[in-house]
Amino acid sequence: MHGDLETHDASAPIFAPEAFGIADAEAELIAQARRFGARVLAPRAAQHDRDATFPLENFRDMHGEGLLGICIPKEDGGLGAGYRTYCLAAAELGRFCGSTALSFNMHVCSTLWSGALSDDLDMSAADRAAHVARRRLHYRRILDDGAIYSQPFSEGGAAAAGGVAFGTEARPTAGGFLVNGKKIFASLSGAADYYGVLCTERGEGEAPSRRNTLYLAVPANAPGAAVVGDWDPLGMRATVSRTLLFKDVFVPEDAMLMPRGVYFQAATRWPHMFLTLSPTYMGLAQAAYDFTIRYLRGEMPGTPPLKRRMFPTKQIAVAEMHVTLEQTKALWFQAISEARPNPSKEQVLRAYAAQFTVMENANALAAKAIRTCGGQAMLKSLALERIFRDSRCGSLMLPWTAEICLDRIGREALYEPGETD
């Protein structure tokens, strides 16, 4: 026990199972993700970041490990992780490669939203039976063939923030839909086998409505689907989030990842679904802290064994980082643990607060790590500068950007539904 206090174990779980009450089966899955991240993701991260190339081999290896099916129900052959287990496992991946963890989230949501989350929502018995049969088709593609799903919903307008109906439209046609529209910042574009497109079903003469949002798996090789533009951003470079165009792309009925009306129901009744962008950044926050401890102790591989920990200013900076990290962990753990359908107002406000805190603090910790460790620590031969750039992207993620979280907390704390001045 005393020995634990004398060493910093950067390979320890972010959330110690015994301290956070994480049961064995859940802890084992999370540990599997952590081992995989350290062994497979970390060595490949720098090159893909530099070249802005998609780490397809990471996803091939995740298929081999069963991780592509982490949230596919056990009865369908997956690992059966629920919401919290997934979040904790994804955070462990985020410590080692932010881009892979973020892209992985897009893929996993296609199974989590159609799986455990949909099971919590209302559907007629007929809709549920059809849904369970359809999702099996998607699950088999993932488990048998290693199919990768992405999740493009951003369009560059107000739709991704949840304000208006998606401009990308699905027109009903014989046997399926014709999809037309454009998605920006679509992680995994060119790498995914299926694009899990959020779009508005719109019949002839119908006005667009958010209630008619459809979640469709469009095959990447479908005629009329194209990837355009380049991707040369500040951070999260290996997500390769280019623009997708859809021109009269036919998809059959069984492309539906959720039945009609269920995405809208999820967005209103299961709001924590949008918190799934945060685990990557929880991992990056931990990585920035771990880096700082190892570096100041003179234990960072690739650097001389020079200790810098004896300066009081470093100790204060590390203490402040530790406090920030613990605050972030505590709030986030509570929010992901209480995610459920029909959360209370207090729980929803806490989810916004958790998203805001993780996204802002990940980058604040990375910035402080650079200041505290010093100039040699930000060389591109080390991971810290990538952590800094990747973590900067978190608060930009719609629909819960940092600004939107603050906006909603302020409004919803001061106004009850229906109240005006």
Catalog residues that contact ligand FAD under the rule CB under 6 A.
106, 151-154, 156, 160-161, 163, 185-187, 236, 239, 241, 393, 396-398, 401, 403-404, 407
Dist CA 211 CA 214 (whole Å): 9
Closer residue to ligand FAD (CB): 86 or 153: 153
Least distance from ligand FAD to the Cβ atom of residue 420, Å? 18
Closer residue to ligand FAD (CB): 63 or 408: 408
Residue located via tokens 């700082």: 292
Closer residue to ligand FAD (CB): 317 or 408: 408
Closer residue to ligand FAD (CB): 133 or 396: 396
Closer residue to ligand FAD (CB): 118 or 276: 276
Least distance from ligand FAD to the Cβ atom of residue 299, Å? 31
Closer residue to ligand FAD (CB): 236 or 383: 236
Least distance from ligand FAD to the Cβ atom of residue 211, Å? 19
The closest alpha carbon to 83, from 113, 128, 62, belongs to 113
Least distance from ligand FAD to the Cβ atom of residue 167, Å? 12
Closer residue to ligand FAD (CB): 168 or 292: 168
Q: Identify the sign of the CA torsion 85, 237, 37, 73.
A: positive
Closer residue to ligand FAD (CB): 234 or 379: 234
Closer residue to ligand FAD (CB): 149 or 177: 149
Least distance from ligand FAD to the Cβ atom of residue 406, Å? 9
Closer residue to ligand FAD (CB): 73 or 98: 98
Three-state DSSP string of the chain = CHHHHHCCCCCCCCCCHHHHCCCHHHHHHHHHHHHHHHHHHHHHHHHHHHHCCCCHHHHHHHHHHCHHHCCCCHHHCCCCCCHHHHHHHHHHHHCCCHHHHHHHHHHHHHHHHHHHHHHCCCCCHHHHHHHHHHHHHHHHHHHHHCCCEECCCCCCCCCCCCCCCCCCEEEEECCEEEEEEEEEEECCCCCCCEEEEEEEECCCCCCCCHHHEEEEEEECCCCCEEEECCCCCCCCHHHCCEEEEEEEEEEEHHHECCCCCHHHHHHHHCHHHHHHHCHHHHHHHHHHHHHHHHHHCCCCCCCCCCCCCCCHHHHHHHHHHHHHHHHHHHHHHHHHHCCCCCCCHHHHHHHHHHHHHHHHHHHHHHHHHHHHHCHHHHCCCCCHHHHHHHHHCHHHCCCCCHHHHHHHHHHHHHCCCCCCC
Least distance from ligand FAD to the Cβ atom of residue 48, Å? 13
- Preceding omega of 399 cis (within 30 degrees of 0): yes
Dist CA 153 CA 131 (whole Å): 21
Least distance from ligand FAD to the Cβ atom of residue 348, Å? 16
Closer residue to ligand FAD (CB): 259 or 399: 399
Least distance from ligand FAD to the Cβ atom of residue 160, Å? 5
The Cα-based distances of 137 to 134, 300, 410 in angstroms read 5, 46, 43
Least distance from ligand FAD to the Cβ atom of residue 2, Å? 43
Torsion of CA 311, 392, 385, 286, to 10 degrees: 60
Least distance from ligand FAD to the Cβ atom of residue 274, Å? 10
Least distance from ligand FAD to the Cβ atom of residue 405, Å? 9
